[in-house]
Amino acid sequence: MIHPEIKLSHSSANNFCAKQLWYKKVGNEKFPINFYLGAGIIVDAGYEAGLKNIMTGIEGCNIRKSMEESLESIKNNLPYDEEIKLVESFDSHVQAVEAYMGWINYKPLETQYFFSLTFEGHTRPTTGYMDIVAERQNLPLIIDIKRQSKPAKKAKNDWIMQGALYALALMKQRNLTEIPKFENHLIIPDQPPVFLVTELTPEHLYMAYKLLTELNERIDKDYWPLNRTHSFCSPMWCAVYDKCHYDHFETVEKLLSKIS
């Protein structure tokens, strides 16, 4: 089997460029943490600490301290200018997480809930972590946290596919017959959090499965097409931009020579 080490996941199935995924998974290129990823990581550490206090009933975790430790652990992996931006905005992320804790209207059961499953016909497992598995009015609820810079009115398609995969995983693991509730909670500096409710449908669940199936087929065929027309194909969003353009280019003369 080709690339047995590559597992399927929501982020891989939704990666905007298959070639970029190849550089990450096969080419072993380093993709440094940028400001956005870094802010997401420290926010994760903060709400996890806060939810742990609720789940255990003990105020054992300090949100700010957990976020400081998280910032310390990633600081050296950021380019200098991104690190400065993250350090300067740190207090606003702490305040946003602390504010979020005041809006919690659910019973948290698990954070960073790991799952691994293999669909029939797939040659590799699908794995992932759900941010929060919870209950509201005794009904199962999956929550995915998004750190955002401004409010949004509805969930992006990509976020919905993520929720649909998590719903499938939770239904299988817990023998649920109904599709669980799914929400994106947006944690936004200097703004109240936004709770986006998505009613997941069987079509959403099918599409989440289909994206994984197509990714599985592409990996099995070792097929990793470029996506140079995408707006994220830029030095800002692709750490291998120069390398990719060096690796994948042919001169006009070469192209003309291919025409019979």
Q: Residue 126 CB: number of other CB atoms within 10 A?
A: 24
Residue 194 interacts with ligand SF4 (CB under 6 A): yes or no: no
Q: Residue 95 CB: number of other CB atoms within 10 A?
A: 13
Of 72 and 214, the one with the shorter C-beta distance to ligand SF4 is 214
Which among 21, 78, 1, 5 is positioned nearest to 215, based on CA atoms? 21
Task: Write down the least CB distance from residue 17 to ligand SF4, Å.
Answer: 3
Give the one residue of 8, 13, 19, 96 binding ligand SF4; rule: CB under 6 A.
19
Residue 226 interacts with ligand SF4 (CB under 6 A): yes or no: yes
Q: Is 17 strand, coil or helix?
A: coil
Give the one residue of 9, 12, 20, 184 binding ligand SF4; rule: CB under 6 A.
20
Please work out the total of residues on this chain that contact ligand SF4, with binding judged by CB under 6 A.
Answer: 12
Residue 24 interacts with ligand SF4 (CB under 6 A): yes or no: no
Binding segment for ligand SF4 (CB under 6 A), chosen from 13-21, 59-67, 153-161, 189-197, is 13-21
Q: Which of residues 70-109 bind ligand SF4 (CB under 6 A)?
A: none
Of 6 and 244, the one with the shorter C-beta distance to ligand SF4 is 244
Task: Write down the least CB distance from residue 35 to ligand SF4, Å.
Answer: 19
Give the one residue of 6, 8, 17, 170 binding ligand SF4; rule: CB under 6 A.
17
Task: Write down the least CB distance from residue 229 to ligand SF4, Å.
Answer: 9
Contact 242, 234 (CB under 8 A): no
Of 33 and 43, the one with the shorter C-beta distance to ligand SF4 is 33
Which among 149, 60, 72, 141 is positioned nearest to 104, based on CA atoms? 141
Could you tell me the CA-to-CA distances from 123 to 3, 8, 169, 249 in Å, in that order? 10, 10, 18, 32
Task: Write down the least CB distance from residue 102 to ligand SF4, Å.
Answer: 40
Strands (E), the chain: 107-117, 126-136, 139-147, 181-187, 194-198
Instruction: For residue 191, give the DSSP letter.
Output: S
Contact 133, 106 (CB under 8 A): no
Of 125 and 225, the one with the shorter C-beta distance to ligand SF4 is 225
Residue 223 interacts with ligand SF4 (CB under 6 A): yes or no: no
Q: Residue 197 CB: number of other CB atoms within 10 A?
A: 11
Residue 205 interacts with ligand SF4 (CB under 6 A): yes or no: no
Q: Is 240 strand, coil or helix?
A: coil
SS3 track for 196-210: EEECCCHHHHHHHHH
Q: Which of residues 229-248 bind ligand SF4 (CB under 6 A)?
A: 233, 238, 240-241, 244
Binding positions for ligand SF4, rule: CB under 6 A: 17, 19-20, 23, 226-228, 233, 238, 240-241, 244
